[in-house]
Amino acid sequence: MALEISDNTSVLVLTGAGVSAESGIQTFRASDGLWEKHAIEDVASPEGFFRDPALVWRFYSERRRSVSAAQSNAGHLALCALEEELGDRFLLATQNVDGLHERAGSKRVLALHGRLMQSRCSVCERPPFDDDALYLSALPMCARCEERGGSGLLRPHIVWFGEALDPNHLARVETFMNKAEDLLFLAVGTSGHVYPAAALVSVARALGGRSVLVNLDEAGNEGEFDEVFRGPSGVLLPSLLDL
């Protein structure tokens, strides 16, 4: 069964780790997921980073390594094909930091939780820059700070717990939803446990939008969706989007 998408429908897609699972990227909350082997407060909080930056850099370096070897899957490609049809009536807000949507060809992408293949300084205002290096032993220092006699430590360009998402991203999501004549909110591969992303479905509904979830397991906010399709996104998305 295909989703109803007409000439005036605008589609806001929210993706999570599940959409990359079929590319071999580990999710977070599965029994064999990333949070099973790593304490969230150690590797995904600013406090954890300042306590043990070497541990955090090892965690993100290993993830850089596995993402470099991965490829986009049929779910990423289906969303890319939908964007080609809808143009500006499409927006993809992803919680994933792996860049696989862009590698599939998606263009209107907001990386809500940052980008794995970028770093930034933990001290100065130097903007985030592309960086796929692995820091498995020595800690990386900020060249700009060093030029000025300082010693800022580089950190991954990731939004950790307790840190704010880019307000421009949230503003763009809000504007997109407000402008939509007929809004379809489509969440894919996300457990619905992490905010503010998990609250977008209720915003869409409050604006009169339809909401659809495609997920393997039951999500924390599942009751808020109009329709739920259970299964792998790489199989379900191509048929739901009639591609």
- Of 85-93, 121-129, 168-176, 190-198, the window that binds ligand BJW (rule: CB under 6 A) is 190-198
Shortest spacing between CB 230 and ligand BJW, in angstroms: 9
Q: Does 195 bind ligand BJW (CB under 6 A)?
A: yes
Tell me the residue number closest to ligand BJW, measured at CB.
Answer: 18
CA-CA distance, 190 to 193, in Å (whole number)? 8
Q: Which residues contact 219 (CB under 8 A, 6 or more apart)?
A: 187, 190, 191, 192, 193, 213
Residue 166 beta carbon to ligand BJW: minimum distance, rounded to whole angstroms: 11
- Binding-residue pattern over the window 133 to 172 for ligand BJW, x denoting contact by CB under 6 A: -------------------------xxxxxxx--------
CA atoms within 13 A on the CB side of 241: 28
* Interactions with ligand BJW, residue window 79-108 (CB under 6 A): 95, 97
CA gap 137, 156 in Å, rounded: 15
Q: Note whether 118 binds ligand BJW by CB under 6 A.
A: no
Q: Which of 38, 113, 169, 193 is catalytic?
A: 113
User: Does the active-site annotation cover 113?
Assistant: yes
CA dihedral 138, 59, 43, 31 (to 10 degrees): -160
Nearer to ligand BJW, 103 or 144 (CB): 103
Asked if 95 and 194 touch (Cβ cutoff 8 Å), the reply is yes
Choice from 18, 99, 152, 209 touching ligand BJW (CB under 6 A)? 18
Q: In angstroms, rounded to a whole number, what is the distance separating the alpha carbons of residues 33 and 145?
A: 36
Q: Which position among 5, 14, 21, 121 is part of the footprint of ligand BJW (CB under 6 A)?
A: 21
Contact status, residue 57 vs residue 140, Cβ threshold 8 Å: yes
- Shortest distance (Å) from residue 6 CB to ligand BJW: 26
Cis preceding-peptide flag for 196 (omega within 30 of 0): yes
DSSP code, position 139: P
| Contacting residues toward ligand BJW, per CB under 6 A | 16-18, 21-22, 27-29, 33, 44, 95, 97, 113, 158-164, 189-191, 193-196, 215-217, 219, 232-233
Positions annotated as catalytic residues are 113
